[in-house]
Amino acid sequence: MGEKKISTFLGLIFALSFLSSCQTIELYEQSTIYPSHQWDSKQVNEYQFSIEDTTSSYNVYFVLRHHNAYSYKNIWIQVNTTAPDHKISKESFDLTLADDVKGWLGTGMDDIYDQRIPIYPAPVHFKKGVYKFAITHTMRADPLPNILSTGIRVEKAKQ
C-alpha cells in the first residue's frame, strides 16, 4: 500500500469514528446573571421550555455559579412549575453544594465554582407542551451574597 493510500485510509477511519461518536443531546438551559453578585429573595427567575418528545425522560438540574466566598454548604430554593395544562406545583429543595471531605462539589477555576445539581432524584416524564419554571431562594441571608448566576437545565436522560 502506498503512503497516499495509507493516509487516506487513516483519514477515513478518523472521520468515521468522529461522526459515529457525536450524539445530539436534547438540552434546554437558561440562566440569570447577577451583576452585583447577590441574589435577592424577592427576585423570581422564570424560565420556559417546550417539550416535544414525550417518550423520553428528562433530568432537571439547578445551575449555580458562585464565588468560593459563598458561606454555606447548601442552598434552599423554591421551584414553582407550571405544566402545559396550567397546573402549578410548588416544591422546596435543600441542595447540597459542598461537604466536609471534598469541599465544593462542582467544578471550579480560581475562586469561581459551577454546579449542576439534580433537582429530582430520578429522570421525570413531561407531557407535550410548554413548561414554566419560577425559582427563588429561601435562604435566611437576603440578599444572598457571592452568587454570580443561577438557572435551570433540562436534558434528555440517557436511555
pLDDT at 27: 79
Per DSSP, helices labelled H in the chain are: 3-21
CATH of 26-156, one of 1.25.10, 1.10.287, 2.60.120, 3.30.70: 2.60.120
Domain extent listing, the chain: 26-156
Q: What is the CA radius of gyration of the chain?
A: 21
pLDDT tens for 120-157 read 999 999 999 999 999 999 999 999 999 999 999 999 99
- Contact by Cβ (8 Å): 131, 58: no
- Contact by Cβ (8 Å): 156, 102: no
Q: Which residues, in sequence order, are CB contacts of 90 under 8 Å at separation 6+?
A: 78, 79, 80
pLDDT at 6: 54
pLDDT tens for 107-127 read 989 899 999 999 999 999 999
Is 61's pLDDT higher than 60? yes
